[in-house]
A = this chain, B = another copy of it.
Amino acid sequence: MVSETGGNQSVERASAVLRAFTPGRPALRVSDVAAEVGLGVSTTSRLLATLEAAELVQRDPVSQLYELGPAVLTMAGIALNNDPIYRQARPVAQRLAWELGLGANVAVRRGSSLFYLLNVEGQLAQKSFSLMGQLNPLHATGMGKSLLLDTTAKQRAELLGAEPLPGFTSHTHTTLDALGTDLTAAAGRGYTTEIEELALGRACIAAPVRDHTGEIAAAISLSGALSAIALDEREAELGALIVEAADTVSIGLGYLGPAHTPSPVRP
A91 adjacent to B133 (CB under 8 Å): no
Which residues of B have CB within 8 Å of A81?
A: 23, 26, 129-130
- A253–B91 Cα distance when bound, in Å, is 29
A123 adjacent to B110 (CB under 8 Å): no
- Taking residues whose C-beta sits less than 8 angstroms from the other chain, chain A's interface range is 35 or more
B128 adjacent to A87 (CB under 8 Å): yes
- Any B CB within 8 A of the CB of A77: yes
- Any B CB within 8 A of the CB of A117: yes
- Any B CB within 8 A of the CB of A76: yes
With CB as the reference atom, state the residue of chain B lying closest to A110. B70
Which of B47, B90, B98 is within 8 Å of A129, CB to CB?
A: B90
A73 adjacent to B67 (CB under 8 Å): no
- Any B CB within 8 A of the CB of A164: no
A132 adjacent to B49 (CB under 8 Å): no
Interface hit among A13-21, A198-206, A217-225: A13-21
Which residues of B have CB within 8 Å of A87?
A: 128-129
- A115–B115 Cα distance when bound, in Å, is 26
With CB as the reference atom, state the residue of chain B lying closest to A4. B53
User: Binary interface profile of A, 76-90, with partner B (CB < 8 Å = 1, else 0)?
Assistant: 111111100011101
How far apart are A68's CB and chain B's nearest CB, in angstroms? 4
CB-contacts of A23-55 with B (<8 A): 23, 26-27, 45-47, 49-51, 53-54
CB-contacts of A90-138 with B (<8 A): 90-91, 94-95, 97-98, 110, 115-117, 120-123, 126-134
- Any B CB within 8 A of the CB of A72: yes
- A90–B125 Cα distance when bound, in Å, is 13
- Any B CB within 8 A of the CB of A6: yes
- Any B CB within 8 A of the CB of A155: no
With CB as the reference atom, state the residue of chain B lying closest to A23. B78
B121 adjacent to A94 (CB under 8 Å): yes
- Any B CB within 8 A of the CB of A231: no
Contacts A75-B68, A115-B70, A127-B91 hold; do A15 and B51 have CB atoms under 8 A apart?
yes
Supply 8 further A-B pairs (C-beta < 8 A) apart from A6-B45, A76-B76, A88-B128.
A7-B46, A8-B14, A68-B79, A71-B133, A73-B80, A73-B117, A94-B122, A98-B122
Binding site for B on A (CB under 8 A): 4, 6-12, 14-15, 18-19, 21-23, 26-27, 45-47, 49-51, 53-54, 56, 67-82, 86-88, 90-91, 94-95, 97-98, 110, 115-117, 120-123, 126-134
